[in-house]
Amino acid sequence: MRIATWNVNSITARLPRLLAWLESSGTDVLCIQEIKCAESAFPYEPLRELGYEAAVNATGRWNGVGVLSRVGLADVSPGLPGGPDYDGEQEPRAIAATCGAVRVQSVYVPNGREIGHPHYDYKLRWLEALRTSAAADAESGRPFAVLGDFNVAPADEDVWDPSFFEGLTHVTTKERDALAALRELGLSDVVPRPLKYDHPFTYWDYRELCFPKNRGMRIDLVYGNEPFAKAVGDAYVDREERKGKGASDHAPVVVDLDV
């Protein structure tokens, strides 16, 4: 089974590339983030024509997540149980589903904006709620993974220049401690370093030629429990999909499982 995660940065803008990538990559299950459309406007039919069912949690603003599957889609759970509000709303940043023998949770962790901002505290509370909600699936005995845009670089090696990020979010001790708390559930980062590239980044800002200069970050992650991690045969960042006209600012992260 081939499972992937991809922050598409607008399903509407990225649809032609998404459909082409699904056809060429052989992906069975795709967790997507930053859909940026209402659920009613989601392109279910073009995906269905390719053989994919879709479960979506989206409101049409700046967030939105989904799970696409051609191996079954059951026990769908939208939202983050116990998750915090922001500005009085529960943002659509999480959705879980069972796809064949595997349980997945697609997440789009809050950005945090800047240290000391209310959004930073919201991010930390959101990650704490994620840990609590993932605990039962992590210990269930079946393959389970949390996949998505975590907006946290796990280590200094996961950013192009650690000194550039001093005093900024995505690299703070509190954010990295939140990832460590997920690992304490028995979840592990199943995409190893190094891969094909010395720095397998997953995100490059559109500005200042960040992609050609490889000024990136590794913030799109796959955290799997022991049954999931043991089944991993290969993992890679599809850096080629970040190239060319109309690309997202994130690349897909792909994991092959023997289940």
Is 250 known as a binding-site position?
A: yes
Q: Rg for the chain (alpha carbons), in Å?
A: 17
Catalytic choice (158, 170, 189, 250): 250
Decide if 149 is catalytic: yes
7 annotated ligand-binding residue: yes
Report whether 249 belongs to an annotated binding site: yes
Distance CA 213, CA 138 (A): 38
Q: In this structure, what are the phi and psi dihedrals at residue 246, rounded to the nearest 5 degrees?
A: 75, 20
Tell whether 63 is in a known binding site: no
Length of the chain: 259
Q: DSSP labels for 11-58?
A: HHHHHHHHHHHHHHHT-SEEEEE---SBGGGS-HHHHHHTT-EEEEE-
Tokens (6 digits) for 1: 């089974």
First to last CA, the chain: 7
Is 250 one of the annotated active-site residues of the chain? Answer: yes
Question: Does 119 appear as a known binding residue?
Answer: no
Which candidate in 28, 52, 108, 189 is catalytic? 108
Q: Which residue in 149, 158, 189, 220 is the catalytic one?
A: 149
Buried b (16+ CB within 10 A) or exposed e, 67-91: bbbbbebeeebbbbeebbebeeeeb
Whether residue 57 is annotated as binding a ligand: the answer is no
Residues serving a catalytic function are 108, 149, 250
Which residues make up each annotated binding site?
Answer: 7, 34, 149, 151, 249-250
Which residues make up each annotated binding site for Mg(2+)?
Answer: 7, 34, 149, 151, 249-250
